[in-house]
Structure 1
Amino acid sequence: MADGLVLRGTMRAHTDSVTAIATPIDNSDMIVTASRDKSIILWHLTKEERTYGVPRRRLTGHSHFVQDVVLSSDGQFALSGSWDGELRLWDLAAGKSARRFVGHTKDVMSVAFSVDNRQIVSASRDRTIKLWNTLGECKYTIQDGDAHSDWVSCVRFSPNTVHPTIVSASWDRTVKVWNLTNCKLRNTLAGHSGYVNTVAVSPDGSLCASGGKDGVILLWDLAEGKKLYSLDAGAIIHALCFSPNRYWLCAATEQSIKIWDLESKSIVEDLKVDLKTEADAATGGNANKKKVIYCTSLNWSADGSTLFSGYTDGVLLIELTRKMFSRLFIVESFWSQDNDGGRPLINVRWPGYESFYDHFSITFIMLNLIILSIFFTIERVKGFIPKFCFSRPQTRSFNYLKTLFKQSNLTF
């Protein structure tokens, strides 16, 4: 296991591949997962030492694999897409299907809520993208003309409300960007040499990442419709997600989970669980029938502290970040040189307070650490976990923070 993340526990209830993981934006103690066992599970996160969560409800109704699931922003509803060709809207409190969306002629591969939860988009193996309202009425179908020429594997809304867009990925090896207002094509992003399985949009909506058969992640500028650069994952990519509070991109591949720092374009984590094999009584231990288990889905918690990953054997693994010291004491900081090129200027922020410092003293440091620790304790009780981010990659580690203090003739 890599140094930055530590395996915290597992969650077991699905009997087949975990195809999607949805986490709430309020960071509450629940997640929702979809599986090829035809079910959706609402989990309560107990965060116990061995079993990190327990099933609270199992939602059934789809007659085939459930390929995708997402949550509404208020966490009250889940939206699923299945190989039975339908979408379903689920009332999580009641544990029942509230609405069916019928219109696709083949498997539904991907679904998404708009930022305001008023619109729904779906992608299918029938090569179409459909835009729905929450009443289950299809308002527009993207087909023919500029539409994809093969299966549409993934579709997402951009969180950018100024220029609302839909981003889709396809087995025709392209990613397409559509104007949400009229469902017209804005850009076709070409560059992959194999089918594209997945696409993810950054939290600010400025860029997207795509990956699939060729094992290469392409990063795109959504506004300009241009390729920025590529990252080699080395294996088929099944899922991508951006960290909500770090400039990181995570990829689920058939070898491992890889995490890149996008500023340095370097791998910061390569999470290789022991590749398990299936050779139980059902196969009689026949080596020829062994099946390698790999990650098929992943998602971050809203605060970026927890990474959930789902595997082909139905197991979920939960990794926690080890940035606890940084999250405890520094809410947000930026550094640069002062005007005369001398000491570093440190800008420390937390709610209601911001200051620049070019001179440190032990008294000042200790006082601020005490204040910050008190603030953290109060806000943690209230349910708020401060964000942690650095503006430059060289200040993203604790070692570099120590270097800054050494430049001020202090020990830390």
Structure 2
Amino acid sequence: PPIPLPIRFADPLAFSPDGRLLATAYDDRTVQLWNIADPSRPRRLGAPLTGHKGYVNSLVFSPDGRTLASGSADGTIRLWNATDPGHAVLRGAPLRGHLGAVNVLAYSPDGHTLASGGDDNSVRLWDIEDPSKASEERSLTGHTEAVASLTFSRTGRTLASGGNDSTVRLWNVSDPSRAGAIGQSMSPNAKSGTFLAFSPNTHMLGVSSGTDTIRLWNLDVDDAARRVCTMTRGVLTPETWREYLPRLSYDPPCEP
């Protein structure tokens, strides 16, 4: 039978990449690490991690499993050295920048960038290649309400954010220090924060809005262009081109 752990329904948790560690958060604003190599016998590792002054809203392990990031209602992010999970310690000073609660965290696939979303409606990118010297690289604005979810594409070049403003935004984060929006926001017609996931090939974004609806967004531009051309084939004739674009040589975007 499953072994219950003493956490409430809304408390965040995170598995390490190798599945041997579990991090759980508690109402007393602490984080506990567990050895779950044998899931039938979970074992506490060390003392609870303390320091946050508000509830811990998000937990996430780095891709290499050596660092645990925690985001809190106190507006800070803490990076914990989990190399020796029985004696985890804080790496550097808490990260400050958000003007409200930190709701969600996400690591880039290469582990060099941490994205955070908060009640201040912003997405922030942090350079954590050296966790002990982490610093903010970029603040991304556009959401008009709290950011509730984040996910990186498999390549790490695109970040998707979902907000309580019922929109999803895509960001080009190929160079985090120069990150910016990709196109306009997408509205999943949600009434609350959204949950996001990229498909493995990055061409599809799944959006669950908490309204009994899941939407799939095709992000493959070439595929979208092929669909448009299929639906409009034969519409842009030389005669139509001359009528609307008389100063330009006939050059339809779709193959005849």
Structure 2 residue aligned with 1:186: 182
Q: State the partner residue of 1:347.
A: none
Structure 2 distance, partners of 1:59, 1:203, is 34
Change (3 A) 1:125 1:133: same
- The alignment partner of 2:22 has SS state of strand
Q: Please tell me the root mean square deviation across aligned C-alpha atoms, in Å.
A: 2.4
SS at match of 1:47: coil
Whether contact under 8 Å (2:17, 2:63) holds in the other structure is yes
Q: Aligned partner of 2:116: which letter?
A: S
| 2:111 matches 1:114 | no
State whether structure 2 residue 120 is matched by structure 1 residue 133: no
Matches within 5 A, 1:6-405: 8-14=1-7, 16-27=8-19, 29-45=20-36, 47=38, 49=40, 52-57=41-46, 58-92=48-82, 93=84, 94-99=87-92, 100-134=94-128, 135-143=133-141, 147-161=142-156, 164-180=157-173, 181=175, 182-187=178-183, 188-224=185-221
Q: TM-score, normalised by structure 2?
A: 0.74
Which deviations, in whole Å up to 9, do the C-alpha atoms of 1:303-359 show, x marking residues without a partner? Answer: xxxxxxxxxxxxxxxxxxxxxxxxxxxxxxxxxxxxxxxxxxxxxxxxxxxxxxxxx
What whole-Å deviation, never above 9, does each CA across 1:335-388 have from its counterpart, x for those lacking one?
A: xxxxxxxxxxxxxxxxxxxxxxxxxxxxxxxxxxxxxxxxxxxxxxxxxxxxxx
Aligned twin of 2:244: none
Q: Partners in 2 of 1:48 and 1:32 — Cα distance?
A: 14
- 1:135-161 CA distance string (max 9 Å, x none): 231111112xxx111111111221224
What secondary structure does 1:105 align onto?
A: coil
| SS at structure 2 position matched to 1:209 | strand
Separation (CA, whole Å) in 2 of partners of 1:171 and 1:136: 28
Q: How far did 1:115 drift?
A: 1.2
Matched AA of 2:88: G
Q: TM-score, normalised by structure 1?
A: 0.47
Segments of 5+ residues of structure 1 without an aligned counterpart are 1-7, 228-412
Partner letter of residue 2 of structure 2? Answer: G
In 2, the alpha carbon distance for the partners of 1:33 and 1:86 equals: 17
SS in 1 for 2:143: coil
CA-CA distance at 1:18 after TM superposition: 4.6
Check conservation: 2:188, 2:207, Cα contact below 8 A. Answer: no
Secondary structure of 1:79 counterpart: strand
Please state how far the C-alpha of 1:46 moved relative to its aligned partner: 5.1
Q: What is the distance in 2 between the residues matched to 1:39 and 1:201?
A: 31
Per-residue deviation at 1:81? 0.7
Taking a change above 3 Å as real, the CA distance of residues 165 and 225 of structure 1, as seen in their structure-2 partners, is farther
| Gap change, CA 1:40 and 1:18, over 3 Å in 2 | farther
Aligned partners of 2:28, 2:89: CA distance in 1, in Å? 18
**Higher percent of residues as strand:** 1
Amino acid at match of 1:122: S
| Cα pair 1:39 1:60 within 8 Å, conserved | yes
In structure 1, distance between residues paired with 2:111 and 2:50:
23
Aligned to 1:339: none
Q: Give the distance between the partners of 1:119 and 1:196, measured in 2 at CA.
A: 23
1:48–1:17 Cα change, 3 Å:
closer
What is the letter of the counterpart of residue 113 of structure 1? Y
Q: How much has 1:30 moved relative to structure 2?
A: 1.7
- Total equivalences in the alignment: 211
